[in-house]
Structure 1
Amino acid sequence: MGATLMPGMIDAHLHLSWNNAPGIDPIQMMEVEEHMLVTMEMAKLVLDAGFTAGRGAAAAKPRLDVVAKKFINQGRFPGPRYLAAGPEITTVGGLGDSAPSHIPHEGLNLGLVVSGPEEIRRTVRQLIKYGVDSIKLNLSGESITGMGAEETPMSE
């Protein structure tokens, strides 16, 4: 008596692998094995908060969401029903191209940086091969990058 029952909520913009770190650098530098465990902890937190389904909005590394979804669906870890995403696809200088220009290491980006339509197609095909359910494209700037959305770095 006095309790309320409601259906589970759905989070339509969920980043399981962006894990409450104090900034982007700790997420980028985390080893993939540790990152997988932290991603599964986030899945449990989301479920415990009442969200029984979620749609991945971008993963920090290519297969984190796909593996999380697989383990959740197999009942090996608790988490919401989940549509897996890969890393966001971005252009050079676009939202998601977060690597410092003086460090030539693509692994430091949260996004997969592409230049031109052919690279976009190749990257999308690779993510589909990994098993993602959704693709996130960032082909223009955004206020948080210091470049407005009207300043489109990709026009092809």
Structure 2
Amino acid sequence: MRPTLLLCCFFTAGAIALTGCGRDAPGVIITENGTVVANSAEYQRGRIASAARRQLDDQLGGHWLSAVEIAELPEWDNDQRSMGREWLWPQATVTVTLVGDGTAPLPESADAVRDAVTGYMRGHVDRPGKNLTVTVATVTDAARFAT
């Protein structure tokens, strides 16, 4: 085997193996657009927040947008007894900001939005009744809406 090929194989295997260290779950993820990313806590937090934001934006219509932020990072649950092999938040604080352009009222109440986000996050948080907090704020700001 040529030394160059051997080195390439060694570094590729090392890179794949290292993605399972620390806060990362084993492996990498290939996204919908073909990008390869580490299966990390940061990636999963962004993925879940973006999915919640997209669903809210679809429901809110064209005059309101949402921003969803999750303060904490999830942890990789590798509990073999419960077959848990997934990302879970031991504690999650979710902040939803609804931004309107000022031309239409909010189509859903803030309580309904909070309940929807709570329902979405319920499967991603360990003991969500105790460990999940969702707050919703509304802002009417045409300039901020445009960005």
TM-score, scaled relative to structure 2: 0.30
Quick check: which has more Rg, 1 or 2? 2
Higher relative contact order (CA 8 A, sep 6+): 1
Structure (1/2) with the larger strand percentage: 2
**Structure (1/2) with the larger helix percentage:** 2
